[in-house]
């Protein structure tokens, strides 16, 4: 097991070997399918990691001007930058065109509003809501009822039937219909569903972005994925993109914390950590119980792990160990790559976790430590 004795905690550890393993798998899938892979920056944005991915993937997917700027500078012409967001701003559009190779409009009003005739080289598309749901948790469901993400399929279908000139402005489409799925059958079903409804539009498109939400690193059955890509490429000659985030990064990052206090209340043992749910906000937002690396289901020693903030709900739940904890004990939360660093914040003035990179030789290098000046910049100083 990796020694964390000399680590400054709390800390994120990015594991190079774990990243390489995922990228190796994706190399095989890319070669066999002909699909182009983008890493979506909203899941985990770290320049060191992006630099490593730049030579292994086809580019990045961005959802803001800042992400697009960073993606473009990191790639340095070694891949493409794709942008889609419901929050596209008029005062950022010209600059976005400098950084992005593909811009996807989220609505018909966006598509109608922007003059794309003056742009050079940028390819434009439209996000479509397939109105086909596979996600039970509605907060994660991009195709939920009244979703603001993309134009509903029934509206696009009507425009296609009317041969609307508005659709001549686009050369591709984007959709996203799943979340945290290790099964690719829903993707294949979505592709056939779209073709059934707007097949005439498919015949005119040059490219399609099938979104993310699929865990490429947590399955071995890629046949439905291959069939979906083959159908799009062979039948319509489209360039096909996918943009996984969690599917690449989740298992490649761990968060390490230290026990700072131990006490008992009503017969329950509490261990307070120097991290907080605000460093992994989805634990609190969705009431998730995170995994702990050394936890034993029938462990003799039981502790309620709590965070360092004054938030009453800053707790990680009940966890069991085969040994007693003590002040300074290290607690490792694995699978913390997705939606942690990008969402972490400084509530209560608690510092953000440092960031370490674990290279192939198992050498840990600190690549970022946040300081008081970082906090000051957040409060307007």
| DSSP-derived secondary structure letter, 214 | B
How far is residue 196's CA from residue 190's CA, in Å, rounded to a whole number?
10
- pLDDT of res. 217: 87
Kindly tell me the sign of the dihedral angle through the C-alpha atoms of 108, 235, 192, 59.
Answer: negative
- Report pLDDT for 346: 97
DSSP 184: -
For range 142-148, the mean pLDDT? 92
8 Å CB contact between 282 and 288: yes
Q: Model confidence over 237-269: pLDDT tens digits? A: 999 999 999 999 999 999 999 999 999 999 999
Q: Which residue has the higher pLDDT, 1 or 111?
A: 111
Instruction: Name 356's bridge partners.
Output: 13, 366
Query: What is the arithmetic mean of pLDDT over 190-207?
Result: 97
DSSP string, 127-183: EEE------SSTTT-TTSTT--SSEEHHHHHHHHHTT-GGGGG-SEEE----SSBS-
Burial class (CB in 10 A: 0-12, 13-18, 19+), 265: exposed
Any idea where the domains of the chain sit in the sequence?
34-244, 250-378
Of 1 and 279, which is predicted with more confidence? Answer: 279
CATH fold for the domain made of 34-244: TIM Barrel (3.20.20)
pLDDT range class, residue 312, cuts 50, 70, 90: very high
pLDDT of residue 1: 55
What digits encode the pLDDT tens for the residues 85-95? 999 999 999 99
CATH number assigned to the domain covering 250-378: 2.40.37.10
Higher pLDDT, 103 or 180: 103
Mean pLDDT of the chain: 95
What are the distances in angstroms from CA 29 to CA 117, 223, 285? 36, 10, 34
Beta bridge partners of 103: 83, 124
């Amino acid at each position: 097991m990796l020694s964390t004795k000399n680590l400054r905690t709390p800390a994120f550890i990015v594991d190079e070997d774990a990243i390489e393993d995922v990228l190796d798998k994706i190399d095989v899938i890319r070669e066999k399918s002909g699909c182009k892979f983008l890493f979506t920056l909203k899941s985990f944005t770290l320049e060191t990691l992006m630099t490593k991915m730049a030579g292994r993937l086809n580019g990045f997917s961005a959802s803001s001007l800042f992400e697009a700027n960073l993606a473009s500078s990191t790639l340095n012409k070694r891949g493409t930058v794709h942008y889609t967001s419901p929050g596209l701003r008029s005062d950022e559009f010209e600059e976005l065109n400098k950084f992005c190779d593909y811009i996807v409009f989220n609505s018909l009003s966006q598509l109608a509003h922007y003059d794309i005739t003056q742009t050079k080289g940028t390819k434009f598309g439209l996000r479509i809501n397939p109105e086909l749901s596979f996600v039970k948790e509605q907060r994660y469901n991009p195709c939920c009822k009244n979703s603001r993400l993309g134009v509903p399929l029934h509206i696009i279908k009507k425009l296609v039937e009317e041969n609307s000139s508005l659709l001549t402005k686009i050369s591709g489409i984007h959709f996203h219909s799943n979340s945290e799925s290790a099964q690719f059958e829903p993707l294949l079903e979505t592709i056939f569903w779209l073709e059934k409804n707007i097949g005439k539009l498919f015949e005119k498109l040059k490219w399609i972005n099938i979104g993310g939400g699929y865990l490429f690193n947590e399955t071995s059955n890629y046949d439905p994925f291959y069939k979906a890509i083959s159908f799009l490429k062979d039948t319509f000659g489209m360039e096909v993109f996918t943009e996984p985030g969690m599917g690449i990064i989740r298992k490649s990052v761990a968060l390490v914390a230290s026990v700072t206090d131990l006490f008992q209340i009503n017969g329950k043992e509490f261990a307070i950590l120097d991290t907080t749910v605000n460093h992994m906000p989805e634990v609190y937002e969705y009431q998730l119980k995170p995994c702990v690396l050394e936890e034993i289901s029938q462990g003799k020693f039981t502790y309620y792990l709590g965070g360092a903030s004054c938030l009453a709900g800053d707790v990680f739940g009940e966890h069991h160990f085969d040994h007693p904890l003590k002040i300074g004990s290290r607690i490792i939360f694995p699978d913390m790559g997705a939606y942690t660093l990008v969402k972490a914040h400084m509530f209560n003035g608690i510092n953000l976790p440092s960031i370490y990179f674990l290279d192939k030789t198992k050498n840990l290098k600190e690549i970022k430590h946040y300081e008081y000046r970082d906090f000051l910049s957040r409060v307007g100083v």
